[in-house]
Chain A
């Protein structure tokens, strides 16, 4: 190891070094995991040297030697446990082959820029995924418009220095659907690799986007003509991941030499999907009545609305947004669901942004109640609606009652004097009643059945009611 360290430092890229490296590789393959525990520092040093060797070497070491180094670096990154894809790759590699394949995805290129770039010794077990952008999710729209329905979620990129032959773990930042699923175009994008391919010397950018598998046909076009046209127009190469027919998603890889080309190709693909939306989806989104809803904004708050918020809504094809001088914001939309979603988004935004006073909030709540929006979700409301009637009927203004009176002491063990309202403890301790207190409550307390409860039972299940 020391020999290697010294020789690399002295830039002596001789066949002797190559031989030493070969020997070391062979040894480490078997004893690497052991050395990892006992001689971590030495390993770190020699790996730094090896990476520097790859960096500074001008071909003297030869491809086979570099391959060996790569294999070793990857092996260590995998914690000295080899996997089939990994070993197969290196076994199938003809030793004499000169130019390693230029594609970004294969191990040489994916590992070498990383190792070259990192000045610190590579940690023994690099995290499997590294996320590039600091903010986990941002919106970008395909047409410069709203995040809906063609919204794109930018997923933080998984940088390629993970061996692409290994199965990708599921992306933890997969966004929850923020819109009704049928309005969501389902486009996710991953991996914005601005990784120049050093070996190829020409700048190659690779971009991955995830599409619905069912959209593949639209993007390809008849006999692949459409995608071929896109490739030609934008000077890109678009490749489709091979997937099972049943798969829901499919990864597209766009390769180009400039970011603009990628963006243009992406836009064209998104446009293609938008234009060819399945008729079923469109039909579902056209209910006959035109609904509209208002949110009253206090005039003072209106300026707080940032321009992008307005733009988002206005440029959206399906939702029209009007803002009148008195601070009223009006949505027009012929799809109640979409309207609801838009309103939801806006109210959520306003809640965070404007923090209206309790009174204003209350007012808004009142308005919301009277809006047609509520009727759009009968299936959700139904479940709770019926019983809550019963409940409120049976316990009129429970809250008021509690505020007016004070306390409740169930157990005989506790003197009534201690029964003042203790409201802070409830956070930690749940309200408990043991058997004795409940049983005594059964005998002593007034539990005349509220007539509402009787009515409800006799309506729902008359056969269980005891007169």
Chain B
């Protein structure tokens, strides 16, 4: 876990490499590759535009260096205007329900306490970013699609999107890691919501598929998998 291994990036031929033939500064030679290439998206609230038109891909990165370059040079989540979002998704996955990688998926939702947004929001977001780019979700990294932060006046939200809402075992484990990485206390309940339920919702709340810790009186976390909360993702 503590070591990193050099990835053979030659295996990922990139069409543009041949075009940029600038001389390489020596410090750029030592780079720390990430397992995945990530895309940062930014959504700037604009009521006059369609949602999708507000969504912009800001940058792609696949090294630790570029991750920090980007993070250090953009506004923190807490500094964004109301209604804005950041999304960090694996390359090729659009940060929307409709994407083929998300359509069967769901999200772990962390609701940020309004009173404590100053201290929590940026902390949650950065910890989540580090967890996903650092592949901290055990063997389930492939199930992770990306992370979202919604900056909202009524309460900010941070969420982790996963690929397959039906894999309760996977999602539960991912949720446990998330809870631990973000140091979320047991008093706060994490909910896993199925995207299909969210998109088809009629009321403002969606019945979560998994809760962490489990809502019912079963004390152990493991019980959450077999808890009666799972709902069938009917449209």
Contacts and interface: CB of A to CB of B under 8 A. Distances in A.
A403 B31 CA distance: 11
B35 A431 contact: yes
Contact of A421 (B6, B60, B70, B141): B6
B207 to A, nearest CB: 30
B39 A387 contact: yes
A123 interface: no
A395 B94 CA distance: 23
A332 to B, nearest CB: 27
B53 to A, nearest CB: 13
B59 A456 contact: yes
B27 interface: yes
Given A413-B2, A414-B3, A445-B65, A402 B9 contact: yes
Interface in A450-467: 450, 453-454, 456-457, 460-461, 463-466
B3 A395 contact: no
B73 A454 contact: yes
Nearest to A425: B5
A400 B29 CA distance: 8
Contact of B19 (A392, A398, A410, A423): A392
B80 interface: yes
Given A405-B29, A426-B5, A453-B69, 10 more contacts: A395-B62, A397-B24, A398-B17, A422-B6, A432-B135, A433-B34, A435-B127, A435-B130, A447-B65, A447-B66
A449 interface: yes
B68 A396 contact: no
B74 A399 contact: no
A433 B6 contact: no
Interface string B50-92: 0000001111111111111110111100001100000000011
A384 B69 CA distance: 21
Interface of A: 369, 383-384, 386-411, 413-414, 418, 421-423, 425-426, 429-435, 437-439, 441-442, 445-450, 453-454, 456-457, 460-461, 463-466
7 contacts: A391-B16, A400-B24, A401-B29, A430-B135, A431-B7, A461-B56, A465-B74
Nearest to A456: B59
B150 to A, nearest CB: 15
Nearest to A437: B2
Contacts of B37: 391
B191 to A, nearest CB: 24
A387 B60 contact: yes
Q: Which 8 A-B pairs have the closest CB atoms?
A: A411-B2, A433-B134, A392-B16, A447-B68, A449-B69, A387-B60, A430-B35, A431-B35
A395 B31 contact: yes
B121 to A, nearest CB: 15
Contacts of B33: 398, 402, 408, 431
B57 A437 contact: no
Contacts of A425: 5
A432 B4 contact: yes
Contacts of A397: 17, 20-21, 24
Nearest to A466: B73
A390 B60 contact: yes
A405 B69 contact: no
Contact of A435 (B10, B58, B80, B134): B134
A243 B202 CA distance: 33
